[in-house]
Structure 1
Amino acid sequence: MSPDDAAGPLVRPYFLTGGRSRPARGDLELITLVVAVTDRVREAVSPEHARIVRLCTRPCSVAEVSALMNLPLMVVKVMLSDLIDRGYLIHRPPPPATAAPNRELLQAVLDGIRRL
């Protein structure tokens, strides 16, 4: 590990979000998929925002983006929300869980856990 790695991130997370602690969008969950509509940034954005656009050239979940960026989840949600509002990303929220899980499936999962 180099001294630079040990020092931690050079930019504080609150700086990346402009001091905001909540995203403007309330529909970004851990499993929400985001994908870039372009691979080029048309205007001045932070290097972190540009990196997210590049990461999302293939669909990524919000959790994946957070892990790949090595940033806290809420910071990534704020940044993703900004990029969606600016037209760089589109997202697909997970479908609502309306049906009860299948009893047989739950039993099979339970049996598998017991075998561990």
Structure 2
Amino acid sequence: MNPADDDPVVRPFMLTGGRTQPLHDGLRIETQLRSVPAALSAPLRFESRRIVELCQAPMSVADLAVALHAPLGVVRVIVADLITQGLIRVEAAPDVLTTALIERIRDRVRAL
């Protein structure tokens, strides 16, 4: 028996309050995110709390989806909420995507 089978299933729409579109436009899978220092003391729960913890160092939207075992669209909605609340900020995007970054993004998307 797989230990993951014991975990309760939470439907993705429950994590986003039924929303499918993020409040913040422009969140691509390679967008790098970082938590603001005060975010760890914010009263957050579940996936929002975990995203803030993971983004103590810059992390992409795709990396978050893999780490949370959640659909990319769900992560985009939650991250957009955190950006709107001022708890996550978008890091400056690189002018040029390197081959290594593109391959890492590809690998993360495949892992979804």
Spell out, residue by residue over 1:19-61, the C-alpha distance to the aligned partner (whole angstroms, 9 max, x if none).
0011011110010000001251323x32110011000000000
> 1:79 Cα shift?
0.2
Unmatched 5+ stretches in structure 2: 97-112
Q: Identify the residue that residue 66 of structure 1 maps to in structure 2.
A: 65
* 1:70 to 1:49, Cα distance in 2 relative to 1, 3 A: same
* CA distance, structure 2, for counterparts of residue 88 and residue 14 of structure 1: 22
Percentage of identical aligned residues: 35
In the aligned structure 1, how far is the partner of 2:48 from the partner of 2:66? 15
Distance 1:72 1:93 in 2: 24
Structure 1 spans left out of the alignment, 5+ residues: 98-116
Counterpart of 1:102 in structure 2 is none
Q: Which has the higher helix share?
A: 2
1:88 and 2:87 aligned: yes
Shift of 1:95: 5.3
* TM-score, normalised by the number of residues in structure 1: 0.72
Name the residue aligned to 1:110.
none
Inter-partner Cα distance in structure 1 for 2:79 and 2:8: 19
Aligned residues: 94
Runs of 4+ in 1 over 4 A off after TM superposition: none
